């Protein structure tokens, strides 16, 4: 694995020996304008990091006020995705959900109405892998190239350019995109065909949710059985029960510092976002007829939590949700 990570701005690539001598004109023409559509909590700091790295940014958002700060930093703000498509040959999108992506790409003022041949389109939204594939087909019809590159890491990582990008798309186009990813993230993982970035992210987050709920109920059970929570966490972490949620992000207040459970479950990754990701995982599982018994139940638990007052708390608050609150 030694070669996979280069410093803190590493690129992970799996078992491929690709010769990048024939780089495209896009990646050679560095510092040509980059389009950015979707300037929300995540998109805005990502676009800023492109600016900071010297890329001219052509920005658009349905809420023009979202663009104000970016404009002050030197970005050119235009009215619609199609306007962005006229001015940039690399375009990133960062949108809330599948319908927004469909609209921004294929809607009446969408990118594809005016996209130039050879444009590289990179979507960092978290959406259904099937929608990513549809967008790729639609882009290809217009002579453009689509890649999916969802991120993990949250707003903090977006601001400090520490995101992880999981990228799906043609490998020969990867170089041109990677140049941009390394301005915004610390890790870039090439996952395979279009849609595989989304697939990898959904798989990871589903297992994360399962591990978190499992850790929460295990810790709660152990506490009820009289075990000290810190001791139990140590035992788990040196044993086969170990997982990221037990050793890095323990959901029990008092066990670890610097995690949301130590701060009343503020910050971190919200229950609503986890619910959204699990809904996407559920949809892909249903549509591919893949059984996901624990993933489905995890989805349902986060769904109920969203309506019981946990929507805006970190997803590790499932510990609080499960534990006894009242004397029985």
Residue numbers 32-51 binding a copy of itself by CB under 8 A: none
User: For residues 240 and 235, what is the distance between their CA atoms, to the nearest angstrom?
Assistant: 9
8 touches a copy of itself by CB under 8 A: no
Cβ-based nearer residue to a copy of itself, 43 or 270: 270
The answer to whether 125 and 96 have CB atoms below 8 angstroms apart is yes
* Joined tokens for residue 170: 């043609």
Cβ-based nearer residue to a copy of itself, 77 or 200: 200
Q: Please pick, from the candidates 68, 87, 114, 193, the single residue that binds a copy of itself as defined by CB under 8 A.
A: 193
Q: Min. distance of Cβ 185 from a copy of itself in angstroms?
A: 13
Q: Min. distance of Cβ 66 from a copy of itself in angstroms?
A: 21
129 touches a copy of itself by CB under 8 A: yes
What is the helix (H) or strand (E) element at residue 281, kind and residue range?
helix 271-287
Give the 3-state DSSP-derived string for 28-82, with helices as H, strands as E and coil as C: HCCCCCEEEECCCCCHHHHHHHHHHCCCCEEEECCCHHHHHHHHHCCCEECCCHH
200 touches a copy of itself by CB under 8 A: yes
CA torsion 147→149→155→161, rounded to 10°?
-90
234 included as an active-site residue: no
The answer to whether 47 and 74 have CB atoms below 8 angstroms apart is no
Q: Please pick, from the candidates 106, 113, 160, 204, the single residue that binds a copy of itself as defined by CB under 8 A.
A: 204
Of 39-47, 135-143, 193-201, 256-264, which segment contacts a copy of itself by CB under 8 A? 193-201
β-partners of residue 34 are: 57, 90
β-partners of residue 146 are: 121
Query: For residue 153, what are the CA distances in angstroms to 29, 159, 164, 166, 215?
Result: 29, 10, 7, 11, 21
270 touches a copy of itself by CB under 8 A: no
**Residues 271 to 310 in contact with a copy of itself, rule: CB under 8 A:** 272, 275, 279, 281-301, 303-304, 306-309
254 touches a copy of itself by CB under 8 A: no
**Which of 48, 133, 201, 313 is the catalytic position?**
201
Cβ-based nearer residue to a copy of itself, 77 or 219: 219
User: For residues 138 and 130, what is the distance between their CA atoms, to the nearest angstrom?
Assistant: 12
232 touches a copy of itself by CB under 8 A: yes
Q: Min. distance of Cβ 9 from a copy of itself in angstroms?
A: 15
| Residues recognised as catalytic | 201
């Amino acid at each position: 694995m030694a070669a996979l990570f280069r410093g803190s701005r590493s690129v992970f690539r799996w078992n491929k020996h690709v010769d990048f001598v024939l780089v495209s004109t896009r990646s050679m023409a560095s510092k040509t304008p980059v389009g950015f559509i979707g300037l929300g909590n995540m998109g805005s700091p990502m676009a800023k990091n492109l600016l900071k790295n010297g890329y001219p940014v052509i920005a658009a958002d349905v809420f023009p006020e979202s663009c104000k700060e970016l404009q002050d930093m030197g970005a050119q703000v235009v009215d619609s995705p199609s306007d962005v498509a006229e001015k940039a040959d690399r375009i990133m999108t960062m949108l809330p959900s599948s319908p927004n992506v469909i609209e921004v790409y294929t809607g009446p003022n969408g990118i594809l109405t005016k996209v130039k041949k050879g444009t590289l389109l990179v979507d960092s939204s978290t959406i259904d892998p099937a929608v990513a594939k549809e967008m790729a087909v639609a882009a290809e019809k217009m002579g453009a190239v689509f890649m999916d590159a969802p991120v993990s890491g949250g707003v903090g990582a977006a601001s400090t350019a520490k995101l992880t990008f999981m990228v799906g798309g043609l490998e020969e186009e990867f170089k041109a995109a990677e140049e941009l990813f390394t301005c915004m993230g610390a890790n870039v993982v090439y996952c395979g065909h279009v849609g595989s970035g989304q697939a990898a992210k959904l798989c990871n987050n589903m297992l994360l949710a399962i591990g978190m709920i499992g850790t929460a109920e295990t810790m709660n059970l152990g506490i009820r059985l009289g075990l000290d929570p810190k001791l139990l966490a140590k035992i788990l972490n040196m044993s086969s029960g170990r997982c990221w949620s037990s050793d890095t992000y323990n959901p029990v207040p008092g066990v670890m510092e610097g995690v949301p459970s130590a701060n009343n479950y503020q910050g971190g990754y919200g229950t609503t976002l986890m619910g959204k990701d699990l809904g996407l995982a559920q949809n892909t599982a249903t549509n591919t007829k893949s059984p996901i018994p624990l993933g489905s139940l995890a989805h349902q638990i986060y769904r109920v939590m969203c309506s019981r007052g946990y929507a805006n708390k970190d997803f590790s608050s499932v510990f609080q949700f499960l534990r006894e609150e009242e004397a029985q």
